[in-house]
Amino acid sequence: MTHRLRLGVNIDHVATIRNARGGDHPDPVQAALAAARAGADGITAHLREDRRHIRDEDIAALTGELRIPLNLEMAATDEMLEIALRHRPHAACIVPEKREERTTEGGLDAAGQDDLLMRVVERLSGADIRVSLFIEPDPRQVAAAIRLKAPVVELHTGRYAHLDGEARAAELRRIADAAALAARNGIEPHAGHGLTFDNVQPIAAIPHLRELNIGHFLIGEAIFCGLEASVARMRALMDEAR
Ligand code: PXP
């Protein structure tokens, strides 16, 4: 059976635009509420160590005002763990974080950091926060997620988004295989990064996937057609592909 595919809208770049002028407009909470009206099933926000877009007070405001689940993206650090445990979002997605990167450039090396991740997964799960590990679509990384007892993995679609032709088709197969492997082992597979109106449908057609997290393209497209229209069109393309 193919489940409905949820859409998580990442609002980080509404905060990027706000921060460019140091004021309070555009407000990421208002953007999150607009995305929800247009069919988003959840909101994703990445509180980075350098606070370059989302800030601590945004997380507080989002947890207070949202009626749909919040997925907090975070690095596996003590500081972020403490913030997650304080705000108790519905979900937390553990991502690798390097200060100098422009965005999350590769998946987490779950296979190489068992001890650190085990502690973070246990603490978050113990607080009823649904933990997801952002990993490359690689069977070694899925195997690590199984060992770590992560309930969810988010498969990095960044490589897929940047490739074309046969290389893209091969990467799509890797994502589908990783999603199937996760699902067979009781892990809920999600996917995201670099998805657009043009490349979302082959990903949305992968039957085991349960959620896509999409940000930069939707916020950029909102400049031309408005946020609600941009989210609604993505929602429609995903539904059409199932
Ligand atoms: N999923 C994760 C774990 C991410 O780190 C990001 C980027 O913040 C996204 C999804 C969304 O990627 P994009 O902004 O390219 O749609």
Report in angstroms the alpha-carbon separations of 144 from 3, 105, 218, 233: 25, 20, 31, 35
Which protein residue's CA is at the shortest distance from atom 6 of ligand 1? 193
Would 37 be classed as within a structural domain?
A: yes
105 band by pLDDT with thresholds 50, 70 and 90:
confident
Residue 95, Cβ density class (10 Å: 0-12 exposed, 13-18 middle, ≥19 buried): buried
Q: Is 53 a catalytic residue?
A: no
Q: What is the number of the ligand 1 atom nearest to the C-alpha of 213?
A: 10
Instruction: Indicate which CATH number applies to the domain containing 193.
Output: 3.20.20.70
What mean pLDDT do residues 22-35 have? Answer: 98
pLDDT in tens, 86-100: 999 999 999 998 766
Q: Answer whether residue 153 is part of any domain.
A: yes
DSSP, collapsed to helix, strand or coil, labels residue 50 as: coil
Mean pLDDT within 103-130? 90
Q: Is residue 128 part of a domain?
A: yes
Q: Do the beta carbons of residue 81 and residue 120 sit within 8 Å? A: yes
Question: What Å distances lie between residue 176 and 61, 94, 109, 158, 187, CA to CA?
Answer: 36, 21, 20, 14, 14
Closest by CA to 28, choosing from 4, 7, 57, 50, is 57
pLDDT digit string, tens, across residues 181-230: 999 999 999 999 999 999 999 999 999 999 999 999 999 999 999 999 99
Q: What's the total number of domains in the chain? A: 1
Q: For residue 102, is pLDDT > 80?
A: no
Residue of 50, 52, 190, 213 with the most ligand 1 atoms within 8 Å of its CB, for mutation: 213
Mean pLDDT in residue range 102-129: 89
Catalytic residue among 13, 46, 156, 190: 46
Q: Does the annotation mark 193 as catalytic?
A: yes
CB 97 within 8 A of CB 48: yes
**Would 148 be classed as within a structural domain?**
yes
Mean pLDDT of 133-149: 96
Q: Is residue 19 part of a domain?
A: yes
Residue 100 domain boundaries: 6-241
Euclidean distance between CA atoms 211 and 207, whole angstroms: 11
Q: What is the pLDDT of residues 164-179, one digit of tens each?
A: 999 999 999 999 999 9
Q: Please tell me the distance between residue 160's alpha carbon and the centre of ligand 1 in angstroms.
A: 13
Pocket test for ligand 1, best of 11, 48, 103 (most atoms within 8 A of CB): 103
ω into residue 26 within 30 of 0, thus cis? yes
Amino acid found at 65: E
| C-alpha to C-alpha distance for 200 and 157, rounded to whole angstroms | 10
Q: Give the model's pLDDT for residue 99.
A: 61
Structure token pair of residue 130? 């649904």
Q: 64-86: per-residue pLDDT in tens?
A: 999 999 999 999 999 999 999 99
Ligand 1, CB cutoff 6 Å, lining residues: 10, 12, 46, 73, 93, 95, 103-104, 134, 154, 192-195, 213-217
**Residue 1 belongs to some domain of the structure:** no
73 is an active site residue: yes
Q: What is the mean pLDDT of residues 152-171?
A: 98
16 in any annotated domain: yes
Phi and psi torsions of 133, nearest 5°: -110, 125
- The residue count of the chain comes to 242
Q: Domain for residue 24, yes or no?
A: yes
Mean pLDDT, residues 39-68? 97
Question: Chain-wide mean pLDDT for the chain?
Answer: 96
38, 31 in Cβ contact below 8 A? no
Tokens found for residue 233? 């069109």
If we measure between CA atoms, which residue out of 2, 4, 51 comes closest to residue 28? 51
